[in-house]
Amino acid sequence: MKKLYVVGSRASKSLSPTIFNYWFKKYNVKARYGYLELTEKNFHNKIKEVLEKKDTLGLNVTIPFKKKIIKHLDKIDAHAKKIDAVNCVIKKKIISGANTDWTGYYKTLQNIKKTKNRKVIILGYGGASQAIHYVLKKRGFKDILIFNRSKKKIKYSNKIEYTKIYGELGAQLDGVFLIINTTPINPILKKHIKLITKSTIVSDIVYTPRNTTFLKQFPKNKKIYGISMLIEQAKPCFKMWFGKTPSVDEKMLNTIYKKI
């Protein structure tokens, strides 16, 4: 039986095993999906051991190892190279890596009229944020502002740009189309809430709880929940491992929602 794992410092909290094991049962796939909760100290040794095992077919990689995994791979796809992060590992004749976070997030916008000239604000600039920024730039969004605790150089820009500090956030909230929180905290303060209109779409990539502290502040706004991105980034991983794109049904969603 083939084995797959989600790898991260808090992997035991991940819903990836619930998602993939549901699909394995649905499609009669003889595989088992578990988790590997690793530390910065033991990551390289443990990953090497797991990838050397004959029954290992693939990995999902989460915080904080999406860059560290790259040194263990024979090849990574073009998107992972540009984002400099891998969240999906495929072990066949060679060990390859891909990034599906970028397309996974964009799929969550499917039911939203995408007005590419409208303002988008991204809160945080870690690995997931960079993948989201990458796809928004790739899809033609022109007005993207990124806020972060510390000043960081922004990728995917034709000119030298840096992230803005949260202290400047209030001045940029007027007319914002979409706010995406990619941090585990809530950077929005009370003074910011009154500046955000009901027409602004709010999105959080954290999926537990489903209605995060960030999202709770906007009871009347359209929301994009973090679980949507988790599911959408998982679909292409399943296809790379097994050659089939899985579908999402009500039973699956109910199984997931019970856990968040």
Q: Which entry of 3, 13, 54, 66 is annotated as an active-site residue? A: 66
Q: What are phi and psi of 61, to 5 degrees?
A: -120, 130
**Cα 240–Cα 246–Cα 252 angle in degrees, nearest 5:** 135
* Helix, strand, or coil (residue 128): helix
Q: Which H or E run contains 239?
A: helix 226-242
Say which residue the tokens 């990034």 belong to.
Answer: 99
What is the Cα Rg of the chain in Å?
19
Measured CA to CA, the distance from residue 260 to residue 258 in angstroms comes to: 6
Asked if 66 is an active-site residue, the reply is yes
Q: Are 144 and 155 in contact (CB under 8 A)?
A: no
Distance from first CA to last CA of the chain, Å, rounded?
29
Residues recognised as catalytic = 66
